[in-house]
Amino acid sequence: MSATITTTTTTTTYTTTDSFYGGSFKPRGGEGGPDLHDISHGSHIPEGSKESLADAIDDMAVPSWVKAMAKNILGVDDDSRLPSESGAAKTINNFQKEHDIGLLSVEQMQKMAETGYCTGKDGKTFQVPEEVQLAAQRMMANNGELFKKLEAATDGRHDGQLGQGDYGNAIKDGTISRNGGDETRGSSERGLSPGDFLNAIMNGNIASTRPSEYGAAKTINDFQKEHDIGLLSVDNLKMMAETGYCKDKDGNLMQVPEEVQGAAQRMMENNGELFKKLEAATDGKHDGQLGQGDFGAALQDGAIGKDNGKETVTFGGPDSTQWGGQADGLPSDSSAAKTINDFQKDKDIGLLSIENLKMMAETGYCKDKNGNTVQVPEEVQLAAQKMLDNNGELFKKLESATDGKHDGKLGQGDYDKAIEDGTISKNTGPRSAPAPDAPIDDLPTSAAAAKTINEFQKDKDIGLLSVENLKMMAETGYCKDKNGNTVQVPEEVQLAAQKMLENNGELFKKLEAATNGKHDGLLGQGDYNEAIDDGTISA
């Protein structure tokens, strides 16, 4: 894989040959110019020199949150932060015992790693100490390698549940050492996940200025007061940061202003550092709830200080910084298809849904035929990733092989049918490096995208298309129809959905408010014509 992050005062472009990230992304408008500054893969750092690469990133004149994302996307070890395997295992085990959590699920561990919050056995959300969050990140690094080793230590089962006794048994059988220190650290993924990295690049509006802690905190506080949101949850703030929408006090979706989304992104940086400082300002409690009074309390106790509300971000000097590296290739189409088919037959999974395949690709776990969470072998996870490569191209080809239907369900018989009709070959050839997706520049124009989505809504009789449904459409090529069934959308519709969500969903937001001026996250069929009438878009 190669990657390039290009920044100017108005534009950030992220380019990669990894098809998971889909080519080039330009989260801001603007043309390149003489002030262009590239940070790209190159050759002057010795091949495989992760330490040199980490040092080069650390020397960059960018904020720590950008460095963390850069390390994550390039697969660079960050030994200064994550604990060793034994240290992480011991920390998580002590945490489980302290909070009487008998079984800690893979979903819960992932939430802890990403947000620094956990839901206890009483159903209440609470903040975990920093060392616990770092331990959770270590547990989930390398496709959850350590989590998988530990959870099976007692009974050999991979069910996505880590028991309190697994730690002791892992020490007994030599899976990990008793030493809870820093004996050896393997490669780690810290900070944001690869998917969140892409979202941050596309939605983060990396620019020459951004909100300071004070500016972000005040903006969010003003927003809470204006909309009478007494307690703003960490989940709601995360949604706000990623999509530009949030749930109001009545549970309805609403769009937030651009500056509020930017403030939410600032609040969630560095493992939600600012959010955690603020939410505890009034009562000292870390329960994942930000109260209206926390901002004033944080000012009084000095947790944050007043300033002009902005801070400057500098993106380096005139010379580019070069990095080097390459990612492992995914299996071939035929090999991936055979692997998934063999897995379905082995586990008696008659129909494998796209949601289940996505879980498999991202976490290495899936739901079996009884709804239980089970770990999948590494080759199956890689095959799932290949199936979802290039907007799920291979999955779409296979799932319709038997009956021609695109319903987001892969049947056991689809593999043989796909071989019979020549969709795929029986050859299970070697792994090949994935080809890049079409770059973002190949997306339709705003007018064409709006027309395509409107025609799709009318064709499928979808009166209101939600921002969540459009996001699913853009990311997977599937959506929920008016009856709640999963259906595949044509490629041009998926590309149109991607265009609609470009630049923090700029086009979607303009269109959805065309009829009644409301930003409720719902696009009506009539919004398209209204947007043409009022000049928002051209016909």
Name which residue leads in pLDDT, 158 or 284. 284
- 304 and 346 both lie in a single domain: no
| Count of structural domains, the chain | 5
At residue 499, does pLDDT exceed 60?
yes
**Do 376 and 360 touch, CB atoms closer than 8 A?**
yes
Per-residue pLDDT band at 272 (split at 50, 70, 90): confident
Q: In this predicted structure, what is the pLDDT of residue 179?
A: 64
pLDDT > 70: percent of the chain:
72
328: in domain: no
Query: Measured between alpha carbons, how far is residue 348 from residues 2, 264, 532 in Å?
Result: 39, 44, 52
Instruction: With cut-offs at 50, 70 and 90, classify the pLDDT of residue 68.
Output: low
Q: Is residue 539 part of a domain?
A: no
The pLDDT assigned to 318 comes to 32
Tokens of 413: 């018989």
- pLDDT of 101 reads 92
* Of 49-63, 135-149, 202-216, highest mean pLDDT: 135-149
pLDDT of residue 145: 83
CA gap 439, 40 in Å, rounded: 17
Out of 117-131, 299-313, 357-371, 432-446, least confident range: 432-446
- In this predicted structure, what is the pLDDT of residue 338? 92
Residue 305 and residue 220 share a domain = yes
Tens digits of residue pLDDT in 312-350: 644 333 332 222 222 346 888 888 999 999 999 999 999
Q: Which helix (H) or strand (E) holds 9?
A: none
- Lowest pLDDT segment from 39-48, 465-474, 511-520: 39-48
CA–CA distance, 344 with 347 (Å, rounded to integer): 5
Asked if residue 89 and residue 74 are part of one domain, the reply reads no
List pLDDT tens digits, range 370-393: 888 777 888 898 999 999 888 788
Answer yes or no: is 431 within a domain: no
Measured distance CA(170)–CA(156) in Å, rounded: 11
Q: How much is the pLDDT for 297? A: 92
> Is the domain of 68 the same as that of 125?
no
DSSP labels for 322-371?
EE---PPPBPPHHHHHHHHHHHHHHHT-SEEEHHHHHHHHHHSEEE-TTS
DSSP 132-152: HHHHHHHHHHHHHHHHHHHHT
Query: Residue 42 and residue 321: Cα distance in Å, rounded?
Result: 8
How high is the pLDDT of residue 247? 87
**Region of poorest pLDDT, from 21-25, 133-137, 176-180, 480-484:** 21-25
Question: Do 58 and 104 reside in the same domain of the chain?
Answer: no
Q: What are 8-16's contacts with CB under 8 Å, separation 24+?
A: 8/32, 8/33, 8/35, 8/36, 8/37, 9/35, 9/207, 9/208, 10/207, 12/201, 12/205, 12/206, 12/207, 14/198, 14/201, 14/202, 15/439, 16/73, 16/436
For residue 514, the enclosing domain spans 443-533
Between 193 and 55, residue with greater pLDDT: 55
Residue 341 lies in a domain: yes
Q: What is the band of 76 on the pLDDT scale with cuts at 50, 70, 90?
A: low
Q: Is the pLDDT of residue 168 over 60?
A: yes
Domain annotation covers residue 177: no
4-18, 130-144, 171-185, 212-226: the lowest-pLDDT one: 4-18
For residue 284, how many other CB atoms are within 10 A of its CB? 7
- How confident is residue 222, by pLDDT bands cut at 50, 70 and 90? very high
Per-residue confidence band for 88, with pLDDT thresholds at 50, 70 and 90: very high
Please give the average per-residue pLDDT across 234-238, as a whole number. Answer: 84
- pLDDT at position 317, please? 36
Same-domain status, 410 and 369 = yes
Query: Per residue in 438-493, pLDDT tens?
Result: 334 578 899 999 999 999 999 999 999 988 888 888 877 888 888 988 888 888 99
Report the half-sphere exposure of 397 (CA within 13 A, side-chain side).
22
Query: What pLDDT score was predicted for residue 325?
Result: 26
pLDDT at 93: 94
Instruction: Say whether both 90 and 10 belong to one domain.
Output: no
Query: Is 401 part of any domain?
Result: yes
Identify whether the C-beta of residue 14 lies closer than 8 Å to the C-beta of residue 25. yes
C-alpha span between 185 and 291 (Å, rounded): 39
pLDDT above 50 (res 126) = yes
Q: What is the structure's pLDDT at 451?
A: 94
Give yes or no: residues 68 and 93 share one domain: no
Do 296 and 339 belong together in one domain?
no
Tens digit of pLDDT for each residue in 350-375?
A: 999 888 898 888 777 888 888 887 77
Where is the domain boundary, 249, 277, 312?
Answer: 312
Q: Please, which pLDDT band fits residue 55 given cuts at 50, 70 and 90?
A: low
More confident residue, 358 or 98: 98
Q: Is residue 26 part of a domain?
A: yes
Identify whether residues 215 and 307 lie together within a single domain. Answer: yes
- Residues 124, 139 within the same domain: yes
Q: What is the mean pLDDT of the chain?
A: 75
Residue 24: is its pLDDT beyond 60?
no
pLDDT band at 527 (very low <50, low <70, confident <90, very high): very high
Q: Would the pLDDT of 149 be above 70?
A: yes
Residue 185 falls inside a structural domain? no
Q: Is the model's pLDDT at 286 over the cut of 90?
A: no
235 and 302, same domain (yes or no):
yes
